Amino acid sequence: MASVGSIRRGGFSVVGRSHGLAAEFFGQRKISCAVDATLGGGRDALFLASLLSEGGKVYGFDIQAEAVRRSRGLFEKNGLLDRCEFFNAGHENMSDLIPRALFGNVGCVFFNLGWLPGSDKSVATRPSTTVAAIRAAVELMDKSRGFLSVAAYRAHPGGREEFEAVGELFEREIPFGECEISDPADAGSPALFYARFGRGR
Ligand SMILES: C[S@@+](CC[C@H](N)C(=O)[O-])C[C@H]1O[C@@H](n2cnc3c(N)ncnc32)[C@H](O)[C@@H]1O
């Protein structure tokens, strides 16, 4: 992983940066399938919908029914209900819930770790399930042109361990993985891991 060499300075927003990198990677090209592994309020999923071709879908996961409700509401408000399939389930189960026909065809996968804003902070992503889900996501992705992004937060209890587990996974198993730290001078600032598979790297 180009972890050290790719670190950039400045306290950027990891969410904005993940959207910008994905938009730049795909350019004008649309994708038929994207996955939001942590739906939360649905903003990342809504961004992913903007990458879809006609008839394409965003598959989304969250262990909290409230997150699925909020995300579905956002898609409804934007007239995009037919563009989503959201599951009240852990992302570690994504291989069982995404149709087999799409295996190898998922263009973009986002993870935005942590907890659902405005709800119980103890219901947060955990290193073991996060690592299992990232491995599953890599299996599902289109390796000829795919973008994987994981926003990790280091300041909350358990956040640093999760950041380190994701870092180790990227280092060992994810080709062309990169890591950018929002503010290298701040040990608690968020990090963005990402990988660009295939063309456009
Ligand atoms: C920071 S929020 C995601 C933000 C979201 N992408 C957005 O655009 O608002 C993290 C979410 O991960 C969810 N989560 C925690 N563990 C999970 C798991 N095993 N599988 C799927 N979602 C999980 C939490 O319930 C929370 O809603």
Neighbour tally for 46: CB within 10 Å = 19
Query: What is the distance in A from the centroid of ligand 1 to the CA of 190?
Result: 16
CB of 115 closer than 6 angstroms to any ligand 1 atom: yes
Ligand 1 mean position to 6 CA, how many Å? 26
Is 146 near ligand 1, meaning CB less than 6 Å away? no
Per-residue pLDDT band for 10 (boundaries 50, 70, 90) equals low
Place of tokens 């280091």: 154
From ligand 1's centre to the CA of 35, what distance in Å? 12
Task: State CA 66 to chain mean position distance.
Answer: 19
Give yes or no for a contact between 42 and 15, defined as CB atoms under 8 angstroms apart: no
Ligand 1 touching residue 124 (CB < 6 A): yes
Radius of gyration of the chain (CA): 16
What is the value of pTM for the model shown? 0.94
| Count, residues in the chain | 201
Residue range 98-108, pLDDT digits in tens: 999 999 999 99
What is the number of H-type helices and E-type strands within the chain?
6, 7
CA atoms within 13 A on the CB side of 194: 25
Asked if 7 contacts 182 with a C-beta cutoff of 8 angstroms, the reply is no
Q: In this predicted model, what pLDDT tens digit does every residue of 26-75 receive, in sequence order?
A: 999 999 999 999 999 999 999 999 999 999 999 999 999 999 999 999 99
The residue type of 185 is: A
Query: What is the C-alpha to C-alpha distance for residues 112 and 119, in angstroms, rounded to an integer?
Result: 16
Return the closest-CA partner of residue 37 out of 95, 117, 120, 102: 95
